[in-house]
Amino acid sequence: MEAAPARPERVLRGIAAAPGVAVGPGYLLLKGLAKVPKYAVADAAAEIARLGAALEETRRQIGVLRDEVARAMGPGEAAIFDAHLLVLEDAALMDEVAAQVRRRKVNVEHVFSRVANRYIRDFGRIGDDYLRERATDIRDVTGRILDNLMGNSPRARRAGEPAVILAADLAPSDAAALPSEEVLGFATEGGNRTSHSAIMARALEVPAVVGVKGLLKAVAPGDQIVVDGDAGAVVIAPSPATLERARVAAEEHARRRAALLADGGAADNDAAGAPFALQANIGGPEDLPDALAMRASGVGLYRTENLYLRLDGWPDEAAQFAEYAAVVRAAQGSPVTFRTLDIGGDKQLGEAQVEANPFMGFRALRLCLERPEVFRPQLRAILRAAALGPVSVMFPMVSGVEELRRAKAALAAEAAALAASGEAPAALPRVGAMIEIPSASVVADAIAAECDFLSVGTNDLVQYLLAVDRGNDRVASLYDPCHPAVILTLRHVFAAAANRGIPCGVCGELAGDPGWAALLLGLGADSLSMSAPAIPEVRYVLRRTDRQGRESLAGAVLASADPAATAALIRDFAAARLRARA
């Protein structure tokens, strides 16, 4: 029998989101995909047997997750998986799937998807809160079952096999569930440079291309994938020649990376000897070793919501304290800035209600101030961790002074309660506000008067200033941090902090771009916090600048009314200092 002809190589273009080149088998992540294949089958019994096998594998997976959470967080937090296991015992759902497969003679995943989606819709309409939340359990478990049912498609990946992750897009909870050691790179149909798939790729230091139209339909079982995070290209079924070029490019990227890391031994001083501060954005204790290895001067942003997303629930004070304390101890005296819970928008917990406009809805500090049963345990856990080392508290999504004062009052109340029990830190943590809403940037001077520091969250600030949802592919091209309004707003916020005598940092993704890092300091920022893998390149560029050069760049950018020209100024500034690294 002749071998099947090789599939022709196909190149798709997208947005370069994380540098480097990855080569490996494609893994099509099911969660979030709208379509499940449908085809006729002759043996209904075999399809029903496949469902049984998928149920058993899902039961095993959930059991493993439950045991891991129980060891890490305690049996109380692991109990969330009990509801997931109950879904697997729902005889009505499974019997209906089996009956439809026998009657319609179509593949079981198609029937299962349709029946499960109807259950999810029905439970979601129920008025009772407890019953309505069953929809979340069903959605989570059925996603796992579908993943296991589609074991012979490119969606399947053997455990332990490194792969290129292909998806419609990645929600924060999807990204958090991926084993980092098995991810070679990312490619997604949706998203842009500030989407969570791109942020996750940069944190893992793997190549990524986002906004790749037609990606999922183009992939076939067994395809090798090349992700070129420098050129913004994805190659499906690459030819031998393309594979060889990709491997050479990957090796060259590794050599350049080694040169950057070798430059990290000296103090963080610029070309004139002036110090600069680079901190790390992290989402859990497991991220801290990488930050310390990159010689970050501390944690500028600890995403406390990652714990909630991992559990898909509300951890109690003990669970939060255990995690926060572990980070503060491991930081060994370096400062740690905890951002209070930033749930909402594109970071939804399972029980969260669907909103017409979640980015401007019930999220972050608004949610915490209205739900003290959620806010108070977190504040207490952070305060107790502050007794172990230098800690700061940062409130997200502050829109004005009144919200900030309410948050500070809640923090002071919990500190007083802890003092009565002898658990309070010797001194209250430094308190800061994130500037990421236009109203906050306008009144930044008044907010600065209430704070010990400010930090600009550029990801949200840009989208709110420009009225561009950074997760909406139809308007993604309008998301442009080089817009003059963004530049002028940043300068205004930095000046407001300086006028009040407090520091202002940047913890958004722009801080991790070497050209932008120089510009932000030139505009008046005091510190930068970024994904740990971005630190070496930013450090390399800043060491080859001085204040005069950075302020000259800022002056040229402020004089530019053309975003494309501004982008070229920033890019060329960094490129001129990176040329010598190879």
Q: How far apart are CA 270 and CA 281, in angstroms?
A: 22
pLDDT at 153 over 80: no
Domain boundary among 149, 178, 209: 149
Q: Which residues of 389-422 are buried (b: 16+ CB within 10 A; e: fewer)?
A: bbbbbbbbbbbeeebbeebbebbeebbeebeeee
Least confident of 69-73, 138-142, 349-353: 349-353
* Owner of token pair 């390399």: 540
Residue 363 in this model has a pLDDT that exceeds 50: yes
Catalytic residues: 196, 507
Same domain, 168 and 128: no
Same domain, 201 and 292: no
**Whether residue 363 sits in one domain with residue 224:** no
Both tokens of residue 137? 């359990």
Between CA 529 and CA 506 the distance in angstroms is 6
Residue 86: both structure tokens together: 């109950």
- pLDDT for 249: 87
Predicted pLDDT of residue 154: 38
138 & 55 share domain? yes
DSSP per-residue string spanning 336-389: EEEEPP--BTTB--TTPPP-SSGGGSS-HHHHHHH-HHHHHHHHHHHHHHHTTS
Query: Is the per-residue pLDDT at 392 higher than 80?
Result: yes
Higher-confidence residue of 72 and 33: namely 72
Higher pLDDT among residues 204 and 519, named by residue: 519
Structure tokens at 147: 């993943």
Rg of the chain (C-alpha set) = 25
pLDDT of 400: 94
* 556 and 438 fall within a common domain: yes
Q: In 150-284, where does DSSP find H-type helix?
A: 172-177, 196-204, 215-218, 240-262
CATH number, domain of 87, equals: 1.10.274.10
Q: From residue 528, how far is each of 273, 292, 470 by CA, in Å?
A: 18, 15, 22
Interaxial angle between packed helices 484-499 and 547-558, expressed in degrees from 0 to 180 and rounded to the nearest 10? 130
- Read out DSSP for 469-525? -TT-TTTGGG--TTSHHHHHHHHHHHHHHHHTT--EEE-SGGGGSHHHHHHHHHHT-
Which of 460-494 are b and which e, b meaning 16 or more Cβ less than 10 Å from the residue's Cβ?
bbbbbbbebbbbebeebeebbbbbeebbebbbbbb
Polymer length in residues for the chain:
582
CA angle 302, 305, 307 (to 5 degrees): 95
Does residue 77 share a domain with residue 133? Answer: yes
Nearest to 336 by CA among 534, 511, 507, 510: 507
Residue 265 is predicted with a pLDDT of: 65
At residue 564 the predicted structure's pLDDT band, cuts being 50, 70 and 90, is very high
One domain for residues 54 and 19: no
Residue 18 has pLDDT above 70, yes or no: yes
- Is 324 a member of any domain? yes
Dist CA 278 CA 150 (whole Å): 44
Residue after which a domain boundary falls, among 202, 225, 255: 255
- Region 213-239 average pLDDT: 86
Beta strands at 224-228 and 233-236: parallel, antiparallel or unpaired: antiparallel
The answer to whether residue 38 is domain-embedded is no
Report yes or no on 39 lying in a domain: no
Could you give the CA distance from residue 482 to residue 474 in angstroms, rounded to a whole number? 19
CATH number at residue 396: 3.20.20.60
- Reported as a single tens digit per residue, the pLDDT across 73-119 is 556 556 666 777 777 777 888 889 999 999 989 888 888 888 887 87
Q: How many CA atoms lie within 13 A of 17 on its CB side?
A: 31
Asked, for residue 519, whether it belongs to a domain, the answer is: yes
CATH number at residue 205: 3.50.30.10
Whether 193 and 141 map to the same domain: the answer is no
Partners of residue 529 on adjacent β-strands: 279
In a shared domain, residues 120 and 162: no
Q: How far, in Å, CA of 546 to CA of 556, rounded?
A: 16
Q: How open is the CA angle 471-303-433, to the nearest 5 degrees?
A: 90
pLDDT score recorded for residue 473: 65
Q: Please state the domain count of the chain.
A: 3
For residue 260, pLDDT beyond 90: no
State how far the Cα of 418 lies from the Cα of 416, in Å rounded to an integer: 5
Of the candidates 261, 284, 281, the residue with the CA atom closest to the CA atom of residue 202: 281
* Residue 272: pLDDT over 90: yes
402 shares a domain with 278: yes
Question: Model confidence over 464-487: pLDDT tens digits?
Answer: 999 987 666 677 778 899 999 999
Average the pLDDT over 549-571 and give the result. Answer: 96
Cβ distance 54 to 219 under 8 Å? no
Which is more confidently placed, 204 or 24?
24
**Predicted local distance difference test score (pLDDT) of residue 539:** 93
Residues whose CB falls within 8 Å of the CB of residue 330, separated by 6 or more in sequence, listed in order: 285, 288, 289, 292
Task: Among 149, 171, 204, give the residue marking a domain's end.
Answer: 149
352-367 mean pLDDT = 64
For the ranges 26-30, 195-199, 270-274, which has the lowest average pLDDT?
195-199
- State whether 217 and 277 are in the same domain: no
Please tell me the predicted confidence (pLDDT) of residue 582: 46
More confidently predicted of 243 and 89:
243
CA dihedral (445, 449, 450, 451) in degrees, to 10, reads 90
- 522-550: string of b/e by CB count within 10 Å (b at 16+)? bbbbbbbbbbbbbbbbbbbbbbbbeeebb
- Lowest mean pLDDT segment, chosen from 4-8, 184-188, 305-309: 4-8
4 within a domain of the structure (yes/no): no
127 has pLDDT over 60: no
Residue 219 C-beta-side C-alpha neighbours within 13 Å: 29
Domain span at residue 230 reads: 10-33+155-255
pLDDT band at residue 166 under the 50/70/90 scheme: confident
- The answer as to whether 206 is a domain residue is yes
Say if residue 267 is in the same domain as residue 245. no
Query: Does some domain include residue 365?
Result: yes
**Burial zone of 352 (CB within 10 Å; 0-12 exposed, 13-18 middle, 19+ buried):** middle
SS (H, E, C) 386-415: HCCCCEEEEECCCCCHHHHHHHHHHHHHHH
Q: What is the mean pLDDT of the chain?
A: 83
Q: What is the pLDDT of residue 306?
A: 85
pLDDT over 70, % of the chain:
82
Note the pLDDT tens digit of each residue in 402-434.
999 999 999 999 999 998 888 778 788 999 999
- Residue 395 in domain: yes
**Angstrom distance (rounded) from CA 353 to CA 171:** 16
